[in-house]
Structure 1
Amino acid sequence: MLLAALTALFMALGYTLGGTGGALIALIVAAGMNLFTFWNADRIVLSMHHAREVDAQSAPDFYGLVRELAGRAGLPMPRVYLIDEPHPNAFATGRDPQHAAVAATTGLLSMLSREEVAGVMAHELGHVRNRDTLIMTMVATIAGAISMLANFGLFFRGGHEEGNGHGNLIAGLLAVIVAPFAAMIVQMAISRTREYGADAAGAEISGNPRALASALAKISGQAGRIPNPVAERNPAAAQLYIVPVHVSELFSTHPATEKRIAALEDMAAEMGGPAIAAPPRASALSPAPQPRRRASALDPHRR
């Protein structure tokens, strides 16, 4: 329904601007740009984060965990990457399950227990299994076409309106202003539904919704405090991560973390597990000491 709404919005914008030629050109150009991104997204994203590929020899625990989860999910083994950053986060990329890659930061591995890391990586494999990369590429294609058509629409209009020039001009200006904003809202709504779907898939794959909920609580508590240079240079990268970098529920590509944890609590209850206890939050004036020097299950030597 959301994809249909986005397509209808594009068609309405093209109609309002008064011609099919400009709409067709904008759609072709936007589709070409997004098609290039679709085929090369994994290389672009991994290069942007300076990610290094690891294997069973260089990171046996982490690689083995991903291999176990991929087997549970019925997926081909993805390529596995580590990012040497203190910022705790993870993401998945690749155009389909056969060309997928998953990545996590060293900050995430040092902060979480093995069970929590398993929940996070199961979430990312859920994105792969649900083919969210393909879905979001379709969304980006239509949204990109809307933005491009809005930017160049007045030029495509030409001067063929004679009778009601002022009315047509006002309608065109409203379309140029309103359409990209509406497309952004629909795009965020689709992205949020995919996050809920990946949470559910991650809980199913890992078999432990409590661990994923605990990981979300820990990561969200630190994601806004620890700098993320990639997201600061390119804010569009924020939609890749398991939690948003800047917490703003209205304009975020992710649902509120509290709502995601509540949904995982419901899953845990259905599976017969105990309620998920959220870790206490440190206040800004009296922060609780962080276990920075404690070795994690996947990083016993604190590397």
Structure 2
Amino acid sequence: MYDPALAPWRGTTMVGRWGFRRGLELDRSTHEDLLADPEARPAGPSSGEFWLSAVSVVLALLGVAAAGYLVWLVVASDLPPGVRLALAIPALLVLLLVKPSFGRVPKHGVITEREAPQLHRLVREVADAAGTPVPDVICADLSLNAGVARLGWRQRSVLVIGIPLWVMLPRPARLSLLAHELGHLANGDPLRVRRTLLARTFGTRAVMATGGRNPWQRAIRASESLASNVSGTAVLFGMIVNGIVALVNVAGATAQLLVDSVAMPDSRRAEYRADLVARRVGGSAPFLRSSETVLLAGRIWQDLWHQAPRVDAEQLEAMAAEARQRLAADLPLARQLSRRTTDLWSTHPGEDQRMRLIEALPDVDGVLSVDDVRWAGVDTELAPWRRAAHNALLGTRDRF
């Protein structure tokens, strides 16, 4: 059921209600397809990917044309400098909106094989089981998340492990987490996103360049400020400029909604397919435990925040396990909440929908298992990061 108090705000209740309903329909149809053949691979690029790739090419050509136009203004044009500058502004804005972004491979948090041979061995085994090359770089950070991406000019594959989430997860569920992220590499998801990145980010860049959300409120406040400080033509000119900026903002937000309505179905299917890789590699039960932990992660972290002054870094895993068990009664409500807070434009399906897919399939044990001795070796290698997570918990207390 659509709940405007919980569902993401998309500008109007009508749009939000339609997006919520469309997201549920998309999840339902995706479940039907994957339950019919969980091992099926995509036959090829989807229609959404095709159109986004085409839009990205058009935007790239637009950027090339803008760059050529700027070169002509500087080199070949006989116009006065002031006129050149005025004529260059639109081209510069276009370049800012369509400039390529390759990302950067993190310099901090990189875990080398020399520092953590057991972790690298584990990731290698998971990659082999998932059917993908080993990531070029393994990083750690202090987020309640994990991810994989291709970054830099060389498009190196980077696996990022959020240590707070890692500490909260039961050990078998950590294997599921790694398998899910490497499943994205096996399915080619980072490359698909890279091919369509210009189309995916154009509208967002336009919105951010014009001030973000609530453009008309900003335009009204700016006009009122002008009216109280200046008068006459300047006020009218300022109102026109603020109105144009607000219109561009609205156009960018609308374009982004349209793009996301095409892009997010593929993103959601990618998450489901990565979940199936996690189920195959790590097993059904560990996947469900990982999803339950994600649902409770914020509250577990809050619990650890309260206990941090009384424990040391080596006790975080045990404290997280106790908190996870204590909060287990909240899981039905948390699952329902995850359904109500996602819609068509959400990058991930709700955790409840992901769990339902795995629960509807036969239980499997997974093709890979890791004994406690090896997990202890991995924990020893990540001990400095556990201490960093503990310090982060202690540090956040200074803000309250």
Shorter-normalised TM range: 0.5 to 0.7
* Aligned counterparts of 1:125 and 1:175: Cα–Cα separation in 2: 36
Once the 2 structures are TM-superposed, how far is the Cα of residue 98 of structure 1 from its aligned partner?
8.5
Question: 1:221-248 CA distances to partner (integer Å, 9 max, x unpaired)?
Answer: 1147749xxxxxxxxxxxxxxxxxx963
2:270 to 194, 204, 207: 194
Report how far residue 119 of structure 1 moved: 0.6
Residue from 211, 215, 218 that aligns with 2:286: 211
Say which of 116, 137, 146 aligns to 2:194: 137
Instruction: Measure how far apart 1:149 and its partner are.
Output: 8.2
Letter in 2 for 1:213: L
For 2:160, what is the secondary structure of its paired residue? strand
Q: Structure 2: 5+ residue runs without aligned partners?
A: 1-46, 67-90, 211-243, 303-336, 367-374, 388-400
In 2, distance between residues paired with 1:10 and 1:175? 18
Say yes or no: does 1:58 pair with 2:104: no
The correspondence for 1:299, drawn from 364, 379, 382, is: 379
Whether 1:83 and 2:159 are equivalent positions in the alignment is no
Letter of the structure 2 residue corresponding to residue 221 of structure 1: L
Q: Secondary structure at the match of 2:111?
A: strand
> Which residue of structure 2 aligns with residue 3 of structure 1?
49
**CA 1:258 to 1:180, structure 2 compared with 1: closer, same or farther past 3 Å?**
same
Offset, 1:193: 1.9
Following superposition, the deviation at residue 23 of structure 1 comes to: 11
Conservation of the 8 A alpha-carbon contact between 2:53 and 2:196:
no
2: CA distance, partners of 1:30 / 1:133: 23
Change (3 A) 1:176 1:64: closer
Q: How far off its partner does 1:194 sit?
A: 1.5
**1:267 maps to amino acid:** L
Inter-partner Cα distance in structure 2 for 1:177 and 1:84: 31
Q: Is the 8 A contact 1:116 1:215 kept in 2?
A: yes
1:37-94 Cα distance to aligned partner (Å, 9 max, x none): 1xxx351xx34xx422231x42243222111111223333223534252x43211122
AA of the residue aligned to 2:273: G
Displacement after TM superposition at 1:4 (Å): 4.0
Number of residue-to-residue matches in the alignment = 227
| 1:299 alignment partner, SS class | helix
2:99 partner amino acid: M
Counterpart-to-counterpart distance in 2, 1:177 and 1:105: 31
More helix by share: 2
Q: TM-score, normalised by structure 1?
A: 0.59
**CA gap 1:252/1:226 in 2 versus in 1, 3 angstroms:** farther
Indicate conservation of the 8 Å contact 2:183/2:277, yes or no: yes
Residue 257 (structure 1) aligned with residue 351 (structure 2): yes
| 8 Å contact from structure 1 (residues 94, 100) kept in 2 | yes
Using the TM superposition, give the Cα deviation of residue 180 of structure 1 relative to its aligned residue in structure 2, in angstroms: 2.7
Task: Map residues 177-192 of structure 1 onto 2, 5 A cutoff.
Answer: 178-192=254-268
Deviations 1:243-275 (A, max 9, x none): xxx963135311100111111223344x489xx
Q: Is the 8 A contact 1:81 1:102 kept in 2?
A: yes
Which letter does structure 2 place at the counterpart of 1:196?
Y
Quote the offset at 1:102 in angstroms: 1.2
2:295 aligned residue: 220
Q: Which residue of 2 aligns with 1:267?
A: 361
Deviation at 1:100, TM superposition (A): 1.6
Contact 2:136–2:157 (CA under 8 A) maintained in structure 1: yes
What's the CA shift for 1:184? 2.9
How far off its partner does 1:210 sit?
Answer: 2.0
Match of 1:105 in 2: 162
In structure 2, what is the equivalent of residue 67 of structure 1? 124
**Contact 2:138 / 2:159 at 8 angstroms: preserved in 1?**
yes
Judged with a 3 Å threshold, the aligned counterparts in structure 2 of structure 1 residues 190 and 24 are, in CA distance, closer, same or farther, namely farther
Deviation per residue, 1:9-36 (Å, 9 max, x gap) = 889x99xxxxx9799659x9489633x4
* In structure 2, distance between residues paired with 1:257 and 1:65: 26
Mapped to 2, the partners of 1:21 and 1:266 lie a distance apart of: 47
| Residues 203 and 79 of structure 1, relative CA distance in 2, 3 Å threshold | same
Percent of aligned pairs with the same residue?
Answer: 25
Structure 2 counterparts to residues 147-162 of structure 1, below 5 A: none
SS at match of 2:115: coil
Give the secondary structure class of the aligned counterpart of 1:54: coil
CA contact (8 A) 2:135 2:157 kept: yes
Tell which structure's C-alpha radius of gyration is larger.
2
Please, which runs of 5 or more residues in structure 1 have no aligned partner? 15-19, 153-168, 228-245, 274-295
258 and 2 in structure 1: CA distance in 2 versus 1, 3 angstrom threshold: same
Equivalent residue for 1:156? none
